Structure 1
């Protein structure tokens, strides 16, 4: 039974409820609103008991009418007095009907409330958002009966915009865990996004759809397009995080693994890590007498001391040394190697010519031999005409590099390319020679 509404204390002075058109739809649905008020008013335990009794009464579809004795037998785990209180509350507020034969059954409003609650409970058992699945299912039902409204579409549009904002916030946070959770949430709702697209396709294909409804449907399509591109944005953000991930030595454990482990700890365990990590420094009082303070005051107030402190003059310039020779490159190793090669009278193995003094000198000699190997392929005018390098490149020697490796195992060298160095004319033709190797061929 509806009671008079007293809305004056909620409205601004001089405004009546009849002047607010937004209240018209709610006041017209007073019976349905009263039904939900009955279900959800009171303590949490009272609400759960009302929902329990109402759902169990509506669950038996073969025998929708219940006698008081059958209800007491069905709810033997409830206190009989509390059960009677719940039944009376539901009956007085038109959620239960009491027939002339003395049997209980659900009213139309009560069955609608139970059906809406069952749908919400069904969606809450899955991973996807309850709101998105529920709203999409509502739109599908309204479309099937031809009752799709602008308000129903607006609820779906608001939910899609909320998801878009949530995903953008996750990407902007730069947190791998937030991004992964948002991506999982998007994947869990992909089927509802696909079904929403089917509803919109059918809706926009109808030539008789109202303009206001079609306008909201187009905005929903744009929102779904933004969500479809969110997965690529998630992947780009994760790629950036992957490039910055640090692996702890050769353990295979990354900074993300450490962060994930720290998230499993409680506040007390995290605070324990700070034990002995900070040292308390006691505050030492100022220990200074009058004489010390007076000495400091005289130094500060003295004009000579202040003049020295503010003197910013540059020091006098130093005279530049005359005749200082510029630094030159040390080519002693090259000259010594050129002298050795100049005394070569018969072919010699590459290892005999290169090895000596360790890995670095041997690699240097091998790189120099590459100049001799390519000497006939390079224009003579392109190289240095004078100096040790030019003299080295003009040595009458041929260098042949092979395709295999020789074992050395001495002087910091394990393997070296096979080959030989011979006075010009005794080695094979230049066009049969292999390209000059790099020093890395010494191993």
Structure 2
């Protein structure tokens, strides 16, 4: 009877577990019919190890990981007596240490050898610690794209020939999330979101380059099944979509550059002001001292009320009186319509570029076109405000949409001049501009004559 009862207890426990799991599903759905339930139940010993480590509050989890990492990090020996453990972890209270050791031992993270009276770290515990350490080390790196851990898992599995479809699907899902995130940033039209997304895109592209060889090896593996091949090919297509977003970022940033508003002749733009405001955590503090005195309310006394009533009464009477004849004529004042200073500056800048285009069209002594003109020679000499204004006009050169319009900026866009910028800077011996980007202006030989 005792043996029969002992044999019935495991069956009863398994039945209770099945009943508690089935309580989370619809009445007409069996938990055993779900494929993922089968895979998870098959990994029950490993999942119970994670439950033993991470169940409870954060402080308890930290102490368990601390004890297990300290024991696993000692490569000089594989067996630990209790005095050795007490000496190695002397900074813990004996009661807390005893509780942690009991929990680790009961969940197969530590093995107790009764014959030699020593503890040993189990292989499963080392696998779990290795996975946790890998995730922690990648978490400390500057991986804003959050692809390093997923790609390392795929690379490690491919190296030992055990890559799974689930690992590839996790990587594919992350690529799809990044693509959607970058598309939303481009659609938002925000310069700050675009630049932040572009920096994250550059980091994601670095991971894509590292993972391309891995995906190529998976697709060329004849032993891989069809599901693995399909997942690897989907990752390749997602990577191509991600890499093709460079042009979308460039077009969106160029459009924002054309629409940027400059404040007068100061050289400042709305982007500079927003960047300056974002550097202040408390924007309300900028208003301190802006108002010299509090607002003083005014109250109407009977004397003011009489004056207002009298004014209203007289204005109504004056409005009711009919006008007799037309008023006498007066000469209109003579005014001088001076063109704005910025318009004069634009006309002068347009004349200088037109002269360069005409000069560039005349071949030199050897019949070749003259060399390109350095941009600092075209913008200077001038003050910082004028040079900044001229530089803001350069993106209009060759703009087809602007060239179809009328006005001075349309003439500037129709000039047969190409603007070629670079990312490098050059120091200048100028009183107003210390440095400037290296760029050049060259003649567009394929375009028609300059707009006179």
Q: Smaller-chain TM-score range?
A: 0.5 to 0.7
Establish whether residue 166 from structure 1 lines up as the match of residue 181 from structure 2.
yes
1:43 maps to which residue? Answer: 57
| Distance in 2 of aligned mates of 1:272 and 1:69 | 66
| Distance in 1 of aligned mates of 2:289 and 2:214 | 56
| Distance in 2 of aligned mates of 1:59 and 1:251 | 62
2:43 maps to which residue? Answer: 29
2:422 maps to which residue? Answer: none
Change (3 A) 1:206 1:15: closer
Change (3 A) 1:245 1:110: same
Alpha-carbon distance, 1:165 to partner:
0.6
Contact 1:247/1:253 (<8 A) preserved: yes
| Distance in 1 of aligned mates of 2:46 and 2:146 | 21
Matches within 5 A, 1:10-409: 10-100=24-114, 101-129=116-144, 131-267=146-282, 269=284, 272=287
Alpha-carbon distance, 1:76 to partner:
2.8
Change (3 A) 1:92 1:271: farther
**1:147-192: CA deviation from partner (whole Å, max 9, x where unpaired):** 2222221111111001101111111121222111111112223332
**1:218-237: CA deviation from partner (whole Å, max 9, x where unpaired):** 11111101111222322222
TM-score normalized by the length of structure 1: 0.59
Alpha-carbon distance, 1:267 to partner:
4.2
Alpha-carbon distance, 1:62 to partner:
2.6
Contact 2:145/2:178 (<8 A) preserved: no
Alpha-carbon distance, 1:64 to partner:
3.0
Change (3 A) 1:177 1:27: same
Alpha-carbon distance, 1:43 to partner:
0.9
| Distance in 2 of aligned mates of 1:208 and 1:225 | 25
Alpha-carbon distance, 1:19 to partner:
2.8
Unaligned 5+ runs, structure 1:
285-443
Alpha-carbon distance, 1:273 to partner:
6.8
Change (3 A) 1:45 1:281: same
Unaligned 5+ runs, structure 2:
1-9, 300-452
| Distance in 2 of aligned mates of 1:210 and 1:265 | 56
| Distance in 2 of aligned mates of 1:180 and 1:114 | 38
SS of alignment partner, residue 10 of structure 1 = coil
SS of alignment partner, residue 189 of structure 1 = helix
TM-score normalized by the length of structure 2: 0.57
Change (3 A) 1:102 1:253: farther
| Distance in 2 of aligned mates of 1:38 and 1:178 | 42
Moved over 6 A (4+): 279-282
Contact 1:123/1:130 (<8 A) preserved: no
Two-structure CA RMSD over aligned residues (Å): 3.5
**1:66-95: CA deviation from partner (whole Å, max 9, x where unpaired):** 222222222233223222222221111111
Alpha-carbon distance, 1:12 to partner:
1.5
Change (3 A) 1:184 1:81: same
Alpha-carbon distance, 1:133 to partner:
1.1
Alpha-carbon distance, 1:208 to partner:
4.1
Contact 1:204/1:214 (<8 A) preserved: yes
| Distance in 2 of aligned mates of 1:211 and 1:15 | 29
**1:263-322: CA deviation from partner (whole Å, max 9, x where unpaired):** 222246368479759x9999x9xxxxxxxxxxxxxxxxxxxxxxxxxxxxxxxxxxxxxx
Q: How many positions carry a matched residue from both structures?
A: 293
Alpha-carbon distance, 1:137 to partner:
1.2
Change (3 A) 1:71 1:273: same
